[in-house]
Amino acid sequence: MQLLTPLHWKEYELIDSGNFEKLERFGAYVLARPEPQAIWDKSLSENEWKQMAQAYFVREKNSPEKGEWKLTKGMPEKWWTYYRYAGLNLSLKCSLTSFKHVGIFPEQAANWDYLEEKLSALPVEKPTVLNLFAYTGAASVAARQAGADVTHVDSIKPVVTWARENMEASNSDNIRWMVEDAFKFVQREVRRGKKYNCLILDPPAYGRGPAGEKWVLEEQLNDLLKSCAELLDEKNCVFILNLYSLGFSALMAENLVADRFGAVPNAESGELYLPDRAGRKLPLGIFFRFASV
């Protein structure tokens, strides 16, 4: 088990965390938004937060997720931020959504680096990558920039459009876009006898497919991984699983992968986190990954 944090962000910083909130810098702009895992006290004062935050997310009554952003003068609702490391040159659009998200999960940069390193090392001319629950596509673009042939699957059309914008702004091309239920897509690919060199899974705790298909992580992840095991190339492979559900542990991910994939090469598992300026480690999900190289 290991603790994993990105090491190469210049445009992102977790400034402070605590009292169920986090204060973050994305490029030139500082945001304050809810964070259920930040159960400790803030290091900075409320006045310092108010002075620094250019956008503050206020939750609706009786809603754990939905709300609205309060903006200071000159704060845009959309802007671009950038990630540069090794062979990666990502341009990523940030947008203030009504569900507190901005389009980037900064801790995932640790997995972008992993994709770039492992896909570039595979002895395959053009590795095939399937990115499931792929959101705004940072991992898809990272894989594409590593020379892979990428299929990006998400059930929400505006999110796929957002991912396409990120691809084009990053001077990349030819990602295959699929607005579809991830589970149905995987089952169909299994029936077709398809194989992929790399699978990326970033499933939500709950979700809906484009035709109203219900996704519940605890109920369906095991079956999804069973199908994924049939899709992954046995010889030249990269696999990444991210889980954000508060009820999941890295041990659960380890057991699930072991049951479905058996013994895997170069396995790594643990928690993803971001450090704030006070040195507290904010946990932001668990991961399990492995690669044949």
User: If one looks up domain 2-78 in CATH, what number appears?
Assistant: 2.60.40.1180
Alpha-carbon distance of 226 to 259, in angstroms, equals 9
pLDDT of residue 206: 79
- 255 C-beta neighbours (distance < 10 Å), count: 13
Query: In DSSP terms, which residues pair with 232 in a beta bridge?
Result: 196
Query: In DSSP terms, which residues pair with 81 in a beta bridge?
Result: 92
Q: Where in the chain is the domain with CATH 2.60.40.1180?
A: 2-78
Q: Tokens 């090392």 identify what position? A: 121
Q: Tokens 């992929």 identify what position? A: 196
Alpha-carbon distance of 215 to 242, in angstroms, equals 16
Closest CA to 8 of 63, 85, 65, 79: 85
Q: Where in the chain is the domain with CATH 3.40.50.150?
A: 103-291
User: pLDDT (tens digit, 9 = 90+) per residue, 83-108?
Assistant: 999 999 999 999 999 999 999 999 99
> What residue ranges in 113-161 does DSSP mark as E strands?
128-132, 149-154
Burial 68-83 (b: 16+ CB within 10 A, else e): ebebeeebeeeeebeb
Give me the long-range contacts of 274-280 (CB less than 8 A, separation at least 24). Answer: 274/5, 274/6, 274/14, 274/106, 274/107, 275/5, 275/14, 276/14, 276/15, 276/16, 276/17, 276/22, 276/43, 277/13, 277/14, 277/15, 277/16, 277/43, 278/16, 278/43, 280/17, 280/18, 280/40, 280/43
User: If one looks up domain 103-291 in CATH, what number appears?
Assistant: 3.40.50.150
Phi first, then psi, for residue 185 (nearest 5°) are: -60, -45
pLDDT of residue 235: 96
Q: Which residues of the chain have pLDDT under 50?
A: none
